[in-house]
């Protein structure tokens, strides 16, 4: 993840949350019956790319909204019993993805685990190349069967909880020296070993890189790609992505990865919409997702910004309204599993991520088109900012619509009045404010509102948390939830 170290689960059920909105639109067909949220039932793995290239689906072609945590340090920190506890907790909170687990943990992010061992002392490799006997000289062609059997068990445990696992074969914060010491042939051979071993696991995807700041060096890029190519030579079906440089990058910024990957990961500590739209507009078209941004309980970025509930909440809604197919959440304790992590995983940020998932899962989120040209929200957008703008200080409103005119959604991070072109909707619309901190809807009086002319919308004061952000939901009469 990064080299900078540094409460309540909703009591309402999903049906109760949507009952509120049902009362708002009872005179229409908007909610003829409580919708089944995409992702509420277990996905049928492996996931694949949709026919239009914009999002993921499972084997039944059900849209797959990525709701991920980032347990990068799991192999070096947790026993299998602890992993079971962690996966159980994440499943209960609506997570469906582990993005990502490092094959082995060593280097600057794990300075107290210099040999990259499991808690009970299993090393990932059984030999060394010439020049040393530290992790940087591990021989990648000599994997330790006992260690990888442990990783097998972890992936199997995740599957039991319905979780897709992104595996990072060689994370590049710590393991570039190892790749350099092994060379291209061994890197490719190691990838082949991983491909052969994990192609039988349907709940696997691959995340290459990790703060891969030297990808512009052709030699380093070739080494990391050699592992990915080795995996794909044995397992062409599982999806790949790559995380490039901190502080802002997209997977396709390195066009040489395009033949290898199927997901365009967005990495930014700046206001999320900037890089998400960059990713969405890149070619070839791929599903884009928020791979890494601010983690809860941790300060990062230049200038630095703390990962408060408000900051991570903004990232979540900006992501979905600028073309995202989901995101990887994280916090200081669940990426590193530092002592005391068990008491710091059920946080306000996790509660609001559950709310975020329920909101978008109730809608045809996969059909949302970012309002890039401001044809829908025409005024009151706030300030775009720069890559040096702190997330906590951005007031920029993002919006999206469905092509058929069924829905318009706008996220207002601060109290501001926006103007909406109502002809963006196919019929008179029912309007509500959604509170991203409580999951509650508030009817906007006077509905249904005409789908002609322009209308101003001003949020209804402070939300449940006492913050200013709200989501505007406009649903055309007669629209179904999916």
- For the stretch 404-439, pLDDT in tens is 999 999 999 999 999 999 999 999 999 999 999 999
Main-chain dihedrals φ then ψ at residue 449, nearest 5 degrees: -90, 145
Q: What Cα–Cα distance (Å) separates residue 233 from each residue in 46, 186, 194, 346, 459?
A: 18, 14, 10, 40, 53
Give domain limits for the chain. 42-366, 370-476
Strands 299-300 and 305-306: antiparallel
Average pLDDT over residues 37-63: 88
Global confidence as pTM: 0.92
Predicted local distance difference test score (pLDDT) of residue 40: 54
pLDDT tens profile 338-359:
999 999 999 999 999 999 999 9
Q: How many Cβ atoms are within 10 Å of 151's Cβ, its own excluded? A: 23
- d(CA 109, CA 410) in angstroms, rounded, equals 38
Residues 6 or more apart whose Cβ sits within 8 Å of residue 360: 65, 320
DSSP character for 262? S
pLDDT tens profile 207-217:
999 999 999 99
Residues 6 or more apart whose Cβ sits within 8 Å of residue 191: 169, 226, 227, 228, 229, 230, 231, 232, 233, 234
- d(CA 220, CA 242) in angstroms, rounded, equals 14
Q: How many Cβ atoms are within 10 Å of 27's Cβ, its own excluded? A: 10
- d(CA 429, CA 444) in angstroms, rounded, equals 11
Bridge partners of 49? 56
Per the prediction, the chain carries an average pLDDT of 92
What beta strand segments (E) does 5-59 contain?
48-49, 56-57
Q: What Cα–Cα distance (Å) separates residue 109 from each residue in 70, 76, 105, 336?
A: 14, 11, 8, 8
CA-nearest of 329, 282, 289 to 309 is: 329
Whether the Cβ atoms of residue 209 and residue 172 lie closer than 8 Å to each other = yes
Q: Which CATH superfamily groups domain 42-366?
A: Glycosidases (3.20.20.80)
pLDDT tens profile 21-45:
333 333 233 322 223 333 457 899 9
pLDDT tens profile 425-475:
999 999 999 999 999 999 999 989 999 999 999 999 999 999 999 999 999
For the chain, how many residues are written?
Answer: 482
Whether the Cβ atoms of residue 37 and residue 361 lie closer than 8 Å to each other = yes
Predicted local distance difference test score (pLDDT) of residue 482: 52
Residues 6 or more apart whose Cβ sits within 8 Å of residue 35: 18, 362, 481, 482
Average pLDDT over residues 286-314: 97
Predicted local distance difference test score (pLDDT) of residue 481: 61
- d(CA 259, CA 254) in angstroms, rounded, equals 11
CATH topology of domain 370-476: Immunoglobulin-like (2.60.40)
For 480, the token pair is: 């179904």
pLDDT tens profile 142-165:
999 999 999 999 999 999 999 999
What beta strand segments (E) does 120-219 contain?
164-168, 204-209
Q: 234 or 479: whose pLDDT is higher?
A: 234
- d(CA 322, CA 337) in angstroms, rounded, equals 31
Strands 240-243 and 248-250: unpaired
Strands 204-209 and 240-243: parallel
Residues 6 or more apart whose Cβ sits within 8 Å of residue 74: 83, 86, 101, 102, 154, 337
Rounded to 5°, the CA angle 174-199-164 comes to: 70
For 74, the token pair is: 């799991």
Q: Which of 2-16, 63-77, 264-278, 378-392 shows the lowest per-residue confidence on average (mean pLDDT)?
A: 2-16
pLDDT tens profile 96-129:
999 999 999 999 999 999 999 999 999 999 999 9
Residues 6 or more apart whose Cβ sits within 8 Å of residue 446: none
Per-residue pLDDT band at 479 (split at 50, 70, 90): confident
Quick one: what percent of the chain has pLDDT higher than 70? 91
Bridge partners of 279? none
Give the CA diameter of the chain: 76
């Amino acid at each position: 993840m990064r080299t900078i170290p540094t409460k309540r689960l909703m009591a309402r059920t999903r049906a109760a949350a949507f009952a509120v909105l049902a009362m708002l639109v009872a005179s229409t067909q908007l909610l003829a019956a409580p919708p089944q949220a995409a992702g509420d039932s277990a996905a049928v793995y492996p996931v694949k790319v949709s026919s239009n290239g914009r999002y993921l689906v499972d084997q039944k072609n059900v849209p797959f909204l990525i709701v991920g945590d980032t347990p990068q340090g799991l192999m070096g920190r947790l026993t299998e019993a602890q992993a079971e506890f962690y996966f159980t907790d994440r499943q209960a909170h609506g997570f469906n993805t582990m993005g990502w687990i490092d094959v082995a943990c060593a280097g600057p992010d794990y300075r107290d685990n210099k040999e990259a061992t499991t808690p009970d002392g299993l090393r990932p490799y059984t030999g060394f190349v010439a020049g040393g006997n530290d992790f940087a000289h591990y021989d990648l062609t000599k994997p330790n069967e006992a260690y990888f059997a442990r990783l097998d068990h972890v992936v199997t445990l995740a599957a039991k909880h319905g979780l897709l696992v992104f595996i990072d074969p060689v994370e590049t914060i710590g393991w570039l020296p190892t790749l350099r010491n092994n060379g291209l042939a061994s890197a490719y051979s190691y990838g082949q070993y991983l491909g052969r071993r994990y192609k039988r696991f349907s709940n696997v995807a691959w995340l290459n890189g990790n703060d891969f700041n030297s990808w512009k060096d052709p030699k380093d890029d070739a080494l990391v790609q050699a592992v990915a190519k080795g995996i794909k030579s044995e397992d062409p079906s599982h999806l790949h992505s790559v995380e490039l440089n901190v502080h802002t990058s997209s997977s396709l910024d390195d066009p040489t990865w395009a033949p290898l990957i199927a997901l365009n990961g967005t990495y930014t500590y700046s206001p999320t919409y900037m890089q998400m739209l960059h990713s969405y507009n890149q070619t070839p078209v791929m599903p884009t997702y928020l791979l890494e941004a601010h983690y809860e309980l941790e300060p990062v970025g230049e200038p630095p910004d703390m990962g408060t509930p408000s900051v991570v909440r903004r990232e979540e809604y900006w992501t979905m309204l600028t073309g995202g197919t989901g995101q990887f959440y994280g916090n200081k304790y669940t990426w590193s599993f530092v002592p005391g992590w068990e008491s710091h995983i059920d946080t306000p940020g996790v509660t609001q991520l559950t709310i975020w998932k329920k909101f978008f899962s109730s809608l045809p989120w996969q059909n949302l088109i970012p309002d890039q040209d401001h044809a829908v929200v025409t005024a009151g957008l706030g300030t775009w900012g720069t890559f040096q703008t702190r997330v906590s200080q951005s007031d920029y409103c993002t919006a999206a619509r469905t092509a058929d005119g069924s829905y318009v959604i706008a996220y207002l991070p601060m109290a501001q009045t926006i103007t909406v072109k109502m002809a963006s909707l196919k019929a008179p619309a029912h309007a509500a404010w959604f509170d991203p901190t409580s999951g509650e809807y508030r009817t906007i009086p006077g509905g249904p509102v005409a789908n002609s002319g322009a209308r101003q919308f001003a949020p209804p004061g402070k939300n449940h948390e006492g913050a200013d952000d709200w989501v505007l939901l406009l649903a055309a009469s007669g629209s179904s939830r999916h």
